[in-house]
């Protein structure tokens, strides 16, 4: 199992330790971004079970591993009634909004909605 990405340490695809590379490694891990997005959208801190359901019933072991990584990197915390984004986690999602808008515009160039599924 690979170590949790941190600024200053080599990460997958980069030996520089640059913070942006550590961040991209972290959020590029399977389900990490989805977990952050679901926590951002949640009206209240979801429990482990609620979060797992919101993430299409991903495996509990993978959810546990990703929550540990996101907690170690100070993006997620255990709240009284579930899991929540920390202040840095909220700021990250705010910075990702323009990227999501760009991706929507980019997808429109491909006319994704008119294509049959799987093409």
* Token pair 């160039």: residue: 109
Q: What phi, psi does 12 have (nearest 5°)?
A: -55, 120
pLDDT tens, 50-59? Answer: 999 999 999 9
- Residue 95, pLDDT score: 96
Let me know: does 38 contact 55? Beta carbons within 8 Å.
yes
Q: Which CATH architecture has domain 30-102?
A: Orthogonal Bundle (1.10)
Which portions of the chain are predicted below pLDDT 70? 1-2, 112-119
Q: At what angle do helices 32-41 and 87-109 cross, to 10 degrees?
A: 110
Distances (CA, A) of 87 to 65, 77, 80, 105: 21, 10, 16, 28
- CA dist., res. 77 & res. 86, Å (int): 6
């Amino acid at each position: 199992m690979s170590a949790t990405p941190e600024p200053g340490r080599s990460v997958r695809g980069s030996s520089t330790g640059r913070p942006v590379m550590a961040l991209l490694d972290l959020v590029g891990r399977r389900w990490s971004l989805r977990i952050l997005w679901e926590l951002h959208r949640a009206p209240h801190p979801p429990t482990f079970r609620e979060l797992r359901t919101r993430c299409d019933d991903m495996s509990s072991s993978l959810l546990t591993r990703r929550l540990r990584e996101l907690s170690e990197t100070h993006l997620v915390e255990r709240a009284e009634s579930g899991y929540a984004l920390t202040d840095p986690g909220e700021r990250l999602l705010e910075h990702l909004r323009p990227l999501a808008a760009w991706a929507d515009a980019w997808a429109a160039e491909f006319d994704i909605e008119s294509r049959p599924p799987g093409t």
